[in-house]
Amino acid sequence: MTRNVIVIGASKGIGAELVTLLAKNQSIQVLALARKIESENKWEAFKNVQVHNLDLQSENLTAELQNILSNVSNVDYVINNAGYLVNKPFLDLSREEIMESYQVNVLGVMSALQVIIPKMLPIGGHVVNISSMGAFQGSVKFAGLSTYSSSKAALTNLTEMLAEEFKDTKLKFNCLCLGAVQTEMLSKAFPGYLAPLTAPEMAEYIVDFTLKQWKWMNGKIIPVSLSTP
């Protein structure tokens, strides 16, 4: 049976690698949701990938996602991969930067899940939220990342809350707190730092976790990190 996987934040970095890896599995239908869709679709060769435009900051997010999913009867897996990072001293953050961080990193995810979860409830599924080591309780913290890390911490907590609220269903919610991975976002957070993992390497772990680990855990916050940061 074909399984439907939604990847939110699919345009580049880890998200793009998630789509490429998932697409290699013919039993999976991938819905790649990206804020920016490039004119050249990098997954054109894969018949099991559909790319749609979705901006988590859109005022019409709910309606736009409902429209994208109008012909999708069931969703099996969701990877909430989108992330927005501002690296600035706390006192210099604008209200806009704070609002945008929270909108992409947690509020948009909440709106998206309100649309997606009803399509998962009948047969069950796994929601994987991609957070950060900076949002993991007790981890080493870095100045300049207050709005990014605190909004990702809200996503981490949301995972536990949804696991509790849906515990009597066949839905599972888990959260991966990633350490450093070589992407554009890492260069913004830690300029010049060389991460021990590439985006394809991290994507390999996330895909495996998403497709398999729901059998063994629910509501778990898992650090996935080789280094500090």
Ligand X SMILES: NC(=O)c1ccc[n+]([C@@H]2O[C@H](COP(=O)([O-])OP(=O)(O)OC[C@H]3O[C@@H](n4cnc5c(N)ncnc54)[C@H](OP(=O)(O)O)[C@@H]3O)[C@@H](O)[C@H]2O)c1
Residues of this chain that bind ligand X (CB under 6 A): 9-15, 35-36, 54-57, 81-84, 104, 130, 132, 178, 180-181, 183-186, 195, 199
CB 169, min distance to ligand X, A: 25
**How many Å is the Cα radius of gyration of the chain?**
17
Query: Closest Cα partner for 207 from 38, 68, 78?
Result: 78
CB closer to ligand X, 12 vs 42: 12
CB closer to ligand X, 110 vs 122: 110
CB 123, min distance to ligand X, A: 27
Query: Closest Cα partner for 176 from 216, 107, 223, 115?
Result: 223
Pairing of strands 171-178, 220-224: parallel
CB 210, min distance to ligand X, A: 13
Q: Tokens at residue 55, please?
A: 């901006």
CB 11, min distance to ligand X, A: 4
**Side-chain-side CA neighbours of residue 127 (13 Å):** 31
CB closer to ligand X, 15 vs 144: 15
d(CA 44, CA 20): 11
- Residue 128 CB partners (closer than 8 Å, separation 6+): 77, 78, 79, 80, 174, 175, 176, 206, 209, 210
CB closer to ligand X, 124 vs 200: 200
Angle at 86 between CA 81 and CA 90, to 5 degrees: 130
CB closer to ligand X, 56 vs 171: 56
Q: Which residue is at the shortest CB distance from ligand X? A: 13
DSSP letter (8 states) at residue 91: G
CB closer to ligand X, 163 vs 185: 185
CB 34, min distance to ligand X, A: 6
Beta bridge partners of 131: 177
CB 199, min distance to ligand X, A: 6
